[in-house]
Structure 1
């Protein structure tokens, strides 16, 4: 599969999507790696233009969130723990920086029921196209575990090596997509 099915669509996430995003995070990540409800609310409040949801229309005509990408614009060339959270007075480079040209992706998740059909690859590729078309950034950055390096490399991300960010106590890798 190289494209979305006719009943799937992508749109910007809003604060009204928070409950569905939190549920999706709980399906996609162990507790220590999930976006907290507080950080989710923050990201959707300050950066909804770069947070996208993948939805599927149900037979009843409703839409169901089956994937999301949560991001903020970060002040640094790599993702830091401070950059992953809210803006905090006195904490350098914390939170979202609207005028930055660097996007930090903090969460990419596809509902486990929809995995195995390349939706993650399609969704991430469409995300990159969206950011490029709107000229919202020069770089897209992400940290991820070693086992996901091949997935992100196939989409075009470059591995920058081990990250200094120790989110959830994990040893992760910095990757960048230059637009």
Structure 2
């Protein structure tokens, strides 16, 4: 599969998608690695245009969230714990920075029922195309575990090595997708 199915589509996420995003996070990550409800609400409120959902239309005509990418614009060249959360007075580089040229992806998840058919690769490629249209960003940054480096590399991300960010106590890797040269 190289394209979405005819009953699948993407659109930016809004605060109205909050409940579905929280459910999807719980399906995709162990508790300590999930986006907190507070951070999810923050990202959907202040950076909605950088958050994308993958939906499937059901036979009844409803839509179901089957994947999401939650992101904000960050002020640093690599993702930090402060940059993953909401803006906190007195905490340097915390929260969303609308004027930044860097996007930090904080969550990529595909519903486990839909994995194994390259949907993650297709969705991430669609996300990059979606972000590219704004022409407001130079880089998309992400941290991920070592086992996911080949997945992100196939989409075009470059491995920058071990991250200093220790979210959930994990040893992760910084990766970057350069939108401009």
TM-score by length of 1: 0.99
Deviation at 1:134, TM superposition (A): 1.8
Task: List 4+ stretches of structure 1 deviating above 4 A.
Answer: none
Q: What residue in structure 1 maps to residue 18 of structure 2?
A: 18
Deviates most, 99-108 or 125-134: 125-134
Deviation at 1:136, TM superposition (A): 2.9
Distance 1:89 1:32 in 2: 25
Deviation at 1:133, TM superposition (A): 1.7
Deviation at 1:46, TM superposition (A): 0.3
Distance 1:141 1:62 in 2: 33
Matched, 1:36 2:32: no
Query: SS state of the match for residue 20, structure 1?
Result: helix
Query: SS state of the match for residue 4, structure 2?
Result: coil
RMSD: 0.4
Deviation at 1:135, TM superposition (A): 1.0
Deviates most, 39-48 or 132-141: 132-141
Q: Any stretches of 5+ residues in structure 2 without a counterpart? A: none
Distance 1:105 1:164 in 2: 16
C-alpha deviations, 1:137-159, integer Å up to 9, x for none?
10000000000000000000000
The alignment covers a number of residue pairs equal to 179
C-alpha deviations, 1:96-141, integer Å up to 9, x for none?
0000000000000000000001010000001001111221310000
